[in-house]
Structure 1
């Protein structure tokens, strides 16, 4: 009996050990699973961040390429407007008159469309003294119309107003109506001096005024 009881105790102990081992194994698996999930989340987050950075870099490259292409097209259109209007090759020669005042001494006439040098009326139209290309006289033709006539009338009206009306702006300082101080911004020197004098007189009158004494007799 004792031997049988001892075997049963040993068997129960073995079963408990197996249960504990299975629980530990399960806990270890759960812990490893959590660690793996955390690693997967970190990897996914890192990949998402790298993908976002790559997309931003790609967007910046596309924007830079678009701006570069737009600048190239703009420069091309500008060159066509400046030079492409005349299909012939520009003439090249030597300037006969070189002044060099760049429109500061004489009235400016125009500027070279190739190098940008300003030509005065003394030099006139001809070949540029810097690059040698011909300075052409460009004729500006307007389509006219009602809008153009209205713009001219408006310009003349503004010029006449500028010539005839000297007093254009009147500043109304409401504070000057209530506070006559020498520090007012819109007072003249005489008005400031008068205000200072009145202020001094008022202060002196206050200080020189005698203190009233009340006598009560019964």
Structure 2
């Protein structure tokens, strides 16, 4: 009984929905899959049958027939209910067995006896059943993913961003990503023409811009447009002026370069760096010569040696001595 209802559902979908054979097979397989809860099957039917009342009614009849068949099996203690057979998808025909004598020979060359068939038909253990259910669930998920990639007839809004379906183009007016499900034609968001031909898209965009400009002028919006353009030009000039005067507005404060003239200063020019490097070399040479000499300072009036240190620095020698310190102003070698 359940198999008959399932066949009626398949024939109705083929007649009314407009889906191709592969999509119809996927829907029927998803509804009647083994190891799937009733809620999941109903949700799949609700999504892919798109509110078709008759198709949903047939799905409910199929669930009722499955419950009725399972009830008869429990009361009469007959064999467990057999899942209705689902036809193989188009292009995926399974090998048919050939009857030879008392044995069954498949096209693959493996032979099985009727006794072995009876043993294989016996119920499996719980562990094997659960494993089969897991495999069936993964197969259902793969099947649903394949159904998502299939395009339904007609242009319909799709938010896949060309991740499930092929890309047609981007709308040049609003930027919407149009996939193969939405197809070529007016954009479903703004109405601008979307097509794979670039020249046609550019021509449609220019025509739409001309229509907008003509409507704004006809409605008295020319003055408002000119005001916006003038405001934009003024903003541009203001930003360009800031860029031109950035050298005068920007000041760099470097305390180290203010107090010490070093040739590693990044703000110096090449000439200034060369001059400081030469001055440093001369100072190092003078210090090397002073290290080889002995300098003695005599006090001629007091007839004594005041100091026997090295040569005084030029900067220290240029500073006049303090009169109250008692140090003579005259110094010689």
Q: Tell me if TM exceeds 0.5.
A: no
How does the TM-score come out when normalised to structure 2?
0.27
Structure with greater strand percent: 2
Q: TM-score normalised to the size of structure 1?
A: 0.37
